[in-house]
Amino acid sequence: MQQRAIIRQALPPAKNVVKVGANADSIPSTPTVASSPIITPPPRSTQIRQNIQRNAGQISDELSELNAQISSHTDATATAVNKLLNNKSGIFDKPVAAQLDDIQNTSTKIENLTSQF
């Protein structure tokens, strides 16, 4: 695939103004400033509205109440999950806690056997 080089050349500045059109002689060569009024946005108030009046005590009370609700919800969730895990049958149709005990007992037996040799 061929690539073509693009060479940019700066054109020399125009020396003569060429007027085009039917009444080209009556058109001024420099633009004039329009006399229309400047459009500005409507004025704004710089004051911040204070709709809610609260003090630090009210906010602190609300935050501590929310914290208590979150803690109670977390505790209830943890209790429910623990009950489900303890009642759920694992790989060998035993509760997870019983499987953990079996694994610990087996590892203790293996340690005892290896220490004998």
Per-residue pLDDT of the chain (117 residues; tens, 9 = 90+): 577 777 777 777 767 766 666 666 666 666 565 567 778 888 877 776 666 666 777 888 889 999 999 988 888 888 888 887 777 666 667 777 788 888 899 999 998 888 887
Q: Is residue 75 part of a domain?
A: yes
Q: Is residue 97 part of a domain?
A: yes
Q: Is residue 49 part of a domain?
A: no
Listed residue (81, 98, 102) closest to 89, CA to CA: 98
Q: Is residue 20 part of a domain?
A: no
pLDDT for the residue 99: 81
Q: Is residue 78 part of a domain?
A: yes
| Segment 81-86 long-range contacts (CB within 8 Å, at least 24 positions apart) | none
pTM over 0.85: no
| Number of domains making up the chain | 1
Q: Is residue 106 part of a domain?
A: yes
Alpha-carbon dihedral sign for residues 20, 25, 31, 33: negative
Structure tokens at 23: 């009444």
The boundaries of the domain holding residue 101 are 64-117
Place of tokens 């509205």: 49
Q: Is residue 115 part of a domain?
A: yes
Rounded Cα distance between 97 and 88, Å, is 9
